[in-house]
A and B are shown apart, each in its own frame.
Chain A
Amino acid sequence: MIIDKLSGSRVFFEVTVTKEQFEHGLDHAFEVVNKDVEIKGFRKGNAPRKVYENKYGIESLYEEAIQHVLQDTYYNVIVENKLDVVAQPKIDLDINNIKRGEDFSYKVTVAVKPEVKLGKYLGTEVTLLKPEASDAEVEAEVAKKLEQHAEMVVKEEGSLENGDTAVFDFSGSVDGVKFDGGTAENHELVIGSGSFIPGFEEQMVGMKSEETKDVVVTFPEEYQEKTLAGKEAVFVCKLHEIKTRVIPALDEEFITELNDEAVKTVEDFKNNVKAELVSQKETQNKNHVRTTVIKTAVENAEFEIPEEMVLEEANRSLEQNKAQIKQYGLDFATYLQYMGKDEAGFLEDLKGQAEKTLQEQLVIEAVAIAEKLEATKDEMDVKYAEIVEQYKAQNVTLEQAKQAIPESAITAEIIYAKAIELLVEKAQVK
């Protein structure tokens, strides 16, 4: 068997099917096809081969026979040559050329798992953020936290300012005629948010509670309601309430209100925030090291991922996505619309992701092989125990877990994790 290596991690080979193999395929095809055939005088599936062939002709068996023969011979080649196929093969075969009692051959092009030539992957230099928090950062974080505790307070006196929320009735008319959607009661509007027609919010600034004012604005030319575009409108507004956001000050009162046992004083609060920031940065650092080492290893390695492999991975994740969306009770089409994409665009995105995932997987696997990493029995037992723990609610026993997940998968997972660990360990952290 001659197997040609093509670019892009593909292989090409030609397989010959002997007439005996094809005859066998026909026998198999008849068995399969005949199951669903009803011929008068015979019960379903009980017609003899001769009667069947008289009625439908031997050619009707070809398709099934070819399929069976191809599968058989193709699979043989794969196993014999230990090819690591990663995508559906492309088979070149002219069905019209096939004749009973003659050998025929077909050509196969198929993507195989790419060989990875590793570059430098140990001792990657990684620069880390300092796990410290400056006073300024702490201050900013504290301010953010205070902001979260802001409350809306009704302003009894004073006038409407930018940033306040106005509760008001309005009724608008064009040329003295009221129009649809131009009237509302107790409408809440944040002044300065720009959600109303330009000029409207500005004119409201300075109004006092219970004040009535006519706001005159011109609809913009490109307003979505064609009948109103470019027209001048008068809105009669009656302001009921002015609400304003009050950010609490960082003092004893605020701390008491928090009602947190660990936080007793303002100092405690600040220290807490600081510790949070530091731990945040530490996790960030950990992730940063991980992503950097993997990225460098991928960049230094040489390999070609076949397009089919990426496509297959992308399609798989597309199916996953679809299933997930369905679980949320959404329609896939609606989801796409919501995201502003079509299916092709969505798949394109997934392809990018898939390529990256595959790159990482292949390189890490190659690292594991290069470093001769192995999983011990103990480690596998630990892993199985973890799985059992995870599915405790479903009462999964150790035996069930072992049955459901083959050892090879567990081994692969452990080795994978070990390889990443190794990369991280050997990284030169600055």
Chain B
Amino acid sequence: MDKFLIVKRPIVSEKTTKLSEERKYTFEVDRNANKIQIKQAIEELFNVKVQKVNVINGVAKFKRVGQHSGFTAKVTKAIVTLMPGNKIDIYEV
């Protein structure tokens, strides 16, 4: 699987900004990718060493707009912890 398809975008919020101080960076990733694939993709994309990957499988929420009802898209987030001494400038992605 292509590394550009696995890592979709960085997630920038107050919480992730705080996490980035501990070398933990958060990305939205493809639902079908596993931790190993994510690790390889990040290492290649940012030229860093990854220590571990934690994945959160988002749940699709039920939403309705008037008569129409449906589900929100399911989002998978990966929190990537880097080896000490490594750094990603996520704002420049």
Residues of chain A touching chain B, judged by Cβ–Cβ distance below 8 Å, are 40-43, 46, 48, 50-51, 54
**17 interchain pairs (CB within 8 A)?**
A40-B13, A41-B11, A41-B12, A41-B13, A41-B14, A41-B16, A42-B13, A42-B14, A42-B17, A43-B14, A46-B14, A48-B17, A50-B91, A51-B12, A51-B17, A51-B91, A54-B91
Determine the residue in chain B with the shortest Cβ distance to A39: B12
Which size class do B's interface residues fall under? Answer: under 10
Q: How many A-B residue pairs have CB under 8 A?
A: 17
Interface of B is mostly: helix
Q: Interface digits, B1-36 against A, CB 8 Å rule (1 contact, 0 not)? A: 000000000011110110000000000000000000
Determine the residue in chain A with the shortest Cβ distance to B17: A48
The answer for the CA separation of A41 and B18 in the assembled complex, in Å, is 12
In the assembled complex, how far is the CB of residue A58 from the closest CB belonging to chain B, in whole angstroms? 14
Which chain A residues border B17 with CB–CB below 8 Å? 42, 48, 51
The answer for the CA separation of A343 and B61 in the assembled complex, in Å, is 64
Which chain A residues border B11 with CB–CB below 8 Å? 41
Which chain A residues border B12 with CB–CB below 8 Å? 41, 51
Determine the residue in chain A with the shortest Cβ distance to B11: A41
The answer for the CA separation of A41 and B77 in the assembled complex, in Å, is 15
In the assembled complex, how far is the CB of residue A52 from the closest CB belonging to chain B, in whole angstroms? 11
In the assembled complex, how far is the CB of residue A118 from the closest CB belonging to chain B, in whole angstroms? 67
In the assembled complex, how far is the CB of residue A38 from the closest CB belonging to chain B, in whole angstroms? 12
The answer for the CA separation of A51 and B17 in the assembled complex, in Å, is 10
The answer for the CA separation of A231 and B13 in the assembled complex, in Å, is 88
In the assembled complex, how far is the CB of residue A34 from the closest CB belonging to chain B, in whole angstroms? 13
Which chain A residues border B16 with CB–CB below 8 Å? 41
Determine the residue in chain B with the shortest Cβ distance to A54: B91
In the assembled complex, how far is the CB of residue A98 from the closest CB belonging to chain B, in whole angstroms? 25
The answer for the CA separation of A21 and B17 in the assembled complex, in Å, is 29
In the assembled complex, how far is the CB of residue B75 from the closest CB belonging to chain A, in whole angstroms? 14
Determine the residue in chain B with the shortest Cβ distance to A42: B14
